[in-house]
């Protein structure tokens, strides 16, 4: 089958994913706390789905779209709890200040280097192991959702995820594995 071309990815997004955008927007719109972030969630979901290495194996574009959006929502909820927010009162004006949690340039460089090491290690994994590892550890999909997406049992997902992590541990320094 060969390595997918960029045009294959775009065609896949157009035919298998985009028809479900209205349903995703309706789902998000029913939850008022996400109303102002719907466009951001949808855009982020498209970017993540475009980056999926083996998109041809996704059996249901609609189900996958919902899984990706739900994972984005979970991540946002986690980040909002972690963010250090407080209110300053100055001359009767209330200003909300959110601490800047962005990583430094040095950390970004280290992260990129480690990500490249991780990608090389994932390239060496057997195909099913790599697919499971990406779903579970990179995209944050639950064990049940991964099993449904890849049409395998949860037991296989658990074993392949552990196998993938073990392969990464042998290929990468301790710091990379600890971050996973």
pLDDT band at 30 (very low <50, low <70, confident <90, very high): confident
Tell me the pLDDT tens digit for each residue of 75-106.
877 776 554 344 444 444 444 444 556 667 77
pLDDT score at 156: 94
To which residue do tokens 């982020």 refer?
Answer: 44
Q: Which helix (H) or strand (E) is 37 found in, with range?
A: none
180: pLDDT strictly greater than 70 = no
Mean pLDDT (the chain) is 77
Angle between helices 61-82 and 38-50 (to 10 degrees): 120
In sequence order, the 6+-apart residues with CB closer than 8 A to the CB of 10 are none
pLDDT tens per residue across span 120-166: 888 888 999 988 988 888 788 888 999 999 999 999 999 998 898 88
In order of their start, the domains of the chain are 1-101 (no CATH), 102-174 (1.10.10.10)
The pTM for the full model equals 0.45
């Amino acid at each position: 089958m060969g390595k997918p071309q960029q045009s294959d990815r775009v065609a896949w997004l157009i035919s298998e994913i985009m028809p479900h955008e209205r349903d995703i927007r309706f789902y998000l719109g029913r939850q008022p706390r996400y109303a102002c972030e719907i466009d951001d969630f949808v855009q982020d979901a498209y970017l993540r789905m475009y980056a999926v290495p083996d998109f041809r194996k996704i059996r249901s574009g609609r189900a996958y779209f919902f899984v990706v959006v739900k994972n984005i929502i979970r991540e946002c909820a986690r980040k909002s709890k972690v963010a250090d927010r407080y209110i300053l009162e100055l001359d009767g004006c209330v200003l909300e200040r959110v601490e800047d949690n962005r990583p430094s340039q040095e950390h970004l460089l280290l992260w990129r280097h480690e990500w490249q090491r991780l990608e090389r290690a994932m390239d060496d994994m057997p195909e099913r192991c790599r697919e499971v590892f990406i779903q579970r550890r990179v995209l944050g999909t639950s064990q049940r959702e991964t099993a449904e997406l890849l049409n395998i049992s949860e037991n296989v997902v658990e074993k392949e995820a552990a196998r993938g992590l073990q392969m990464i541990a042998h290929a990468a320094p301790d710091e990379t594995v600890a971050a996973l």
